[in-house]
Amino acid sequence: MAKPTGFMEYLREDIPDRPPLERIGDWNEFHLPVIEDRLQTQAARCMDCGIPFCHSGAILNGMASGCPINNLIPEWNDLIYRGHWQQALERLLMTNNFPEFTSRVCPAPCEGSCTLGIHNPPVTIKNIEYAIIEKGFEEGWIQPRPSATRSGKQVAVIGSGPAGLACADQLNKAGHLVTVFERADRIGGLLTYGIPNMKLEKGTVQRRVDLMTAEGIRFITDTEVGKNYPADTLLENFDAIVLCGGATQARNLPIEGRDLSGIHFAMEFLGGNARWLLGRSAIGGDVGARSAPFISAEGRDVVVIGGGDTGTDCVGTALRQNCKSLVQLEIMPRPADERQPDNPWPEWPKVYSLSYGQEEFQALYGKDPRRYLTSPKRFIGDENGNVKEVHTVEVTWTKDEQGRFTPQDIPGSGRVIPAQLVLLAMGFLGPENTLLSALNVERDGRSNVKTEHGRYATSIPGVFSAGDMRRGQSLVVWAIHEGRGAAREADRYLMGKTSLP
């Protein structure tokens, strides 16, 4: 451990982000550089808890508890406290291929299960992880390390999101010749065209892609297997294939007026904005299976439907585009301010908080943009077929005859919200059909790729799957976990054994 009495001597000090009113004026990352001395003090708060739940990676009550990739958090906390930054980096990279991504976008389930968090604010694990990886790049400790030997085996990874990149990185380390296919014009998947720039700058993604290229991984863009690259050719040319295409089929809202202009899926909005920031023409570009024209919120009343991370990204993006007004609808109740008895440690704490988008809105308007326990009932348009209003109703959650909680409308609670732009951010249903139909892989009951338990193997020999395409919509850190697991099993299939973790 770091300092035996550190958790009693030091209070939690988060590394502050850029002030909300400053950062909404640009598209730059809102993270500020870390101060090493402060981080060493924070690392000293890591206690000798016996069983470090922070790297357990369990699922409790349907939520992640601890780090899904089993980061050796107490070990690198101790090293940081003692000033051994390079050794801390080595420990971090043992389990995490891309700390520069997780330290920016992961909600930190590790902190939710920190033992210190039972009675005090948890250790600032995410801040420390961010500091370690960025110092590694700044000091030049992270350099291309191509595999010393090659197996001669050709492996195709379909999809370049976090699962695909993690899988490719591991298979390349095992000595295989890895080719990553991406249907968009740039590598990164949701890291590039889903997560906004102020949360994850695209130069950070490209920095990692350049490193992986220098290590021998081949990236092919603008290529969709099953569409402009035949599935049969893929099966013929590669010894193993790993499907990491994500769960990109957005959940729709089939209510009255859904066909009006001005109603878009969140990823259309976010992807188009990312493409615009990257300086490429919005016309004809492919983000996912759809074109992603630039959609502007400037001067518009915006309604975001959905209260998760994607909804927050829509809020932050619309604010930077100078929207006229913004409301975020959330059908669930407002979380409590503190843990409730039915949400004990080490479960993920379901407590009220402001994410960066809501924090920015509050700085501008003095309130949270979210309206809880509110459901949209219909969209109303103008004479030109453009959306102009969202009609909503308040709901209450009650148990039905089967004991399941369902929302019930509250009579007389209807409201009308002006809207010229509506963004649907209600999650994803599963993978799209083009690739899976072309390969004819078996699906499970939720339309995800069906795999052998613990083996990531599909119904086709030599074809594996990982990430959201296999497990459904999840976190970036779970995608990395999946990519590493699929790489291990693909390596075992190719070589008869594996040394990959």
Span 399-415, pLDDT tens digits: 888 888 999 999 999 99
Q: pTM score, two decimals?
A: 0.94
Identify the structural domains of the chain with CATH numbers, from first to last.
Answer: 6-138 (1.10.1060.10), 154-248+429-495 (3.50.50.60), 252-426 (3.50.50.60)
Please tell me the distance from the alpha carbon of residue 165 to that of residue 267, in angstroms, as a whole number. 20
Taking alpha carbons only, the member of 184, 81, 188, 80 closest to residue 134 is 80
Provide the pairing of β-strand 154-158 with 240-243: parallel
Span 303-312, pLDDT tens digits: 999 999 999 9
Please tell me the distance from the alpha carbon of residue 247 to that of residue 474, in angstroms, as a whole number. 9
Mean pLDDT of 190-218: 97
- DSSP track, 423-460: EE---EEE--HHHHHHHT--B-TTSSBP--TTT-B-SS
Span 424-446, pLDDT tens digits: 999 999 999 999 999 999 999 99
Residue 227 predicted with pLDDT over 80: yes
User: Which pLDDT score, from 0 to 100, does residue 48 have?
Assistant: 81
Residue 335 predicted with pLDDT over 50: yes
Q: What is the CA radius of gyration of the chain?
A: 23
Span 368-377, pLDDT tens digits: 999 999 999 9
User: Which pLDDT score, from 0 to 100, does residue 280 have?
Assistant: 53
Provide the pairing of β-strand 290-291 with 286-287: antiparallel
Which three-class secondary structure state does DSSP give residue 98? coil
Question: How many Cβ atoms sit within 10 Å of the Cβ of residue 206?
Answer: 15
User: Which pLDDT score, from 0 to 100, does residue 35 have?
Assistant: 81
Residue 283 predicted with pLDDT over 90: no
271 HSE (CA, 13 A, CB side): 25
Task: Check: CB of residue 200 under 8 Å from CB of residue 29.
Answer: yes
Residue 126 predicted with pLDDT over 70: yes
